Chains A and B, each alone.
Chain A
Amino acid sequence: MTEQQALYKYCLILGDNALIHSYRLSEWCSNAPILEEDLALTNFSLDMIGRAQALLSYAGKIDGKGKTDDDLAYRRGEREFYNHLLKEMPNGDFANTIAKLLFTSAYEYYFFNELQHSADKTLAAIAAKTIKEVKYHMAHATDWVLRLGDGTDESHHRIQKAVNELWMYTGELFETNEATAILEDKNIAVDMAVVKAKWKQEIERVLTEATLTVPKDQYMQTGGSKGVHSEYLGHILSEMQYLQRAYPEAIW
C-alpha cells in the first residue's frame, strides 16, 4: 500500500463515518420526541453531511481519478464502504440514538483534537472545524444520557439497554490497520491509543454520573475498515443511492 492509497483509504473511513451517521440521524426528521429535539438532531445530521462532503471531496482529489464527493457517496457498493459498524446500526428508540451519539461524539471529539495536529494540512483544517461541531454534539448527548439515566425507571432501563447493546461496536472505533500504520509514521494519522484512553475515561464518567453501569469489555464486532458490514448497510445504500443508480445519466 502506497502512502497515497493509505491516505485515500483514511479519508474514506472518516468520510463514510460522517455520511452514514448523518443518514441515520436524518431519519429522525419529524420523528423526535419534541419539536425542539427534531431541530437539534437535524443540525447534527447537517454538520455530518458537511464533514462528509469535505472528506470525500478530498479523498477524490487524492485518488486523482476525477471522482467527486457525490461519485464516492452514490456510486460505491456495499463492500467499498469503510465506516464503523456502529454508524449503520438502526436508530432504535431515542435512548439507542443518544447512546450512539454519545459514543460517537466523544470519540470524534478526542479523535479530531489529535487530528488537528496532523502533518496533512487539509485533514488538520477539517479537524479544527469539526471539533467545534462534535463538542456540541457531545454536550447534547451527555445531557440526555444524564436525563435518561437518572430520569424514570423506564428511561433508565432503556438507556442502560442501549449502552449494553451498542458496547460491542465500540471496539472497532480504535482499531488500526495497514493504512493508519503507514500514515502514523508520517504524522498524518492519529495515535489511537491516546484517543481510546481519553474516550474510555469520559464515557465511564458520564455513565457513572447517569447512574448507569459501564459494560464489561466483551467480544468486539469488527469489519468496517475491510468493507465487511452488517446487513443494514446494504439497505441504507439501496435507498440513498436509488436515484443515482436508476438514472445514471441524470444530473440532479
Chain B
Amino acid sequence: MATDSQFATWEVFMQTKPGANYIHAGSVHASDKKMALQNARDTYTRRGEGTSIWVVPSDAIVASNPDDNEMFFDPANDKVYRLPTFYVMPEGAKAI
C-alpha cells in the first residue's frame, strides 16, 4: 500500500532454544530486512525468549484455504499404517 505510513508487515518466527522448532510469534512492521530483524528482536525477545529469529514478509506467506481442509487433511486420517503402533510384533522381540 503506497499510502501506508506504517511500513510493510513481517511475520516473526522464534526459536526458543537451540535445536527447537521455529514457532510463529507474531508480526512487526519494518521498511527493510535488517529493520525487521531488529524490530523482531526488540519486540519478541525482551525476556530472553529467543536464540534465533526468522522474519518473512507477510505477503510471502502462502496459506492453505480453510475451504480445502477436507481434501487437504482428511485423506491422511485413515493411513494408520504410517504409524508404528499399526504393526504386530512377535512376543519377546527386543529393541524394535
Query: Which A residues lie at the B interface, using CB under 8 A?
Result: 34-37, 39-40, 43, 139-140, 143, 147
Q: How large is the interface on B (under 10, 10 to 19, 20 to 34, 35 or more residues)?
A: 10 to 19
A35 to chain B, nearest CB (A): 8
A149 to B35, CA, bound (A): 16
Closest to A33 in B: B5
A43 to B44, CA, bound (A): 12
A64 to chain B, nearest CB (A): 35
B38–A143 contact, CB under 8 A?
yes
A203 to B42, CA, bound (A): 25
With A36-B29, A143-B34 in contact, do A43 and B46 touch (Cβ < 8 Å)?
Answer: yes
> Hey, which chain B residues are within 8 Å of A147, CB to CB?
31-32
B14 on interface, CB distance cutoff 8 Å: no
A36–B34 contact, CB under 8 A?
no
A-B pair number, CB within 8 angstroms: 28
> Hey, which chain B residues are within 8 Å of A34, CB to CB?
6-7, 29
With A143-B35, A143-B38 in contact, do A36 and B28 touch (Cβ < 8 Å)?
Answer: yes
Interface SS majority for chain A: helix
B39 on interface, CB distance cutoff 8 Å: yes
Closest to B29 in A: A36
> Hey, which chain A residues are within 8 Å of B46, CB to CB?
39, 43
A96 to B39, CA, bound (A): 21
B30 on interface, CB distance cutoff 8 Å: yes
A39 to B30, CA, bound (A): 13
Could you list 21 A-B pairs, sorted by A, with CB under 8 Å? A34-B7, A35-B29, A36-B29, A36-B30, A36-B35, A36-B39, A36-B42, A36-B43, A39-B39, A39-B42, A39-B43, A39-B46, A40-B38, A40-B39, A40-B42, A43-B42, A139-B38, A140-B38, A143-B34, A147-B31, A147-B32
